[in-house]
């Protein structure tokens, strides 16, 4: 069974910098779970380049930057999650980071699921 660890808000910036560094270039895709039960998942995966925490007043947002390395034009995809109220990490059975979970103020859970280092699935 995998372990999920909540990150304390005062540690978000440092955690995300280190997380992005450790997981740079790993394939990842988003899954979104809305509070009403609706779910959305990405069909494509892109390689993680960076994750940034942005603060404006008391509001925090997270920007995830990924690159599709399968295309000759390696444009960056920038996804911004606003009004962040929670960040957690889920670990795979080998202890590697498997999912970055971000919760917004609408109770939407945005999961950035990484290619598994155990079985290659994401």
- Go through 1-36 and write b for each residue having 16 or more CB atoms within 10 A of its CB, e for each that does not: eeeeeebeeeebeebbeebbeebeebbbbbbebeee
Count how many domains the chain has.
1
Give domain status of residue 60, yes or no. yes
Give domain status of residue 122, yes or no. no
For residues 28 and 66, give the distance between their C-alpha atoms in angstroms, rounded to a whole number. Answer: 8
Residue partners of 72: CB distance under 8 A and separation at least 6: none
pLDDT of residue 121: 58
For residues 67 and 75, give the distance between their C-alpha atoms in angstroms, rounded to a whole number. Answer: 6
Read off the CATH number of the domain in which 96 is found: 2.70.180
Residues in the chain: 122
Q: Is the pTM of this model over 0.75?
A: yes
Q: What is the pLDDT of residues 22-75, one digit of tens each?
A: 999 999 999 999 888 888 888 888 999 999 999 999 999 999 999 987 766 678
Give domain status of residue 46, yes or no. yes
pLDDT of residue 73: 66
Full domain range(s) for residue 50: 4-114
């Amino acid at each position: 069974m995998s372990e999920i660890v909540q990150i304390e808000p005062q540690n978000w910036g440092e955690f995300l910098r280190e997380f992005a560094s450790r997981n740079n270039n790993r394939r990842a895709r988003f899954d979104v779970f809305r509070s009403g039960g609706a779910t959305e998942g990405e069909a494509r995966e892109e390689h993680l380049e960076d994750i940034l925490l942005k603060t404006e007043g008391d509001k925090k947002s997270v920007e995830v930057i990924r690159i599709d390395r399968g295309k000759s034009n390696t444009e960056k995809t920038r996804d911004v999650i606003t009004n962040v109220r929670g960040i957690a990490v889920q670990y795979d059975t080998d202890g590697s980071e498997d999912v970055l979970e971000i919760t917004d103020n609408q109770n939407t859970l945005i999961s950035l699921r990484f290619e598994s280092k155990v079985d290659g699935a994401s």
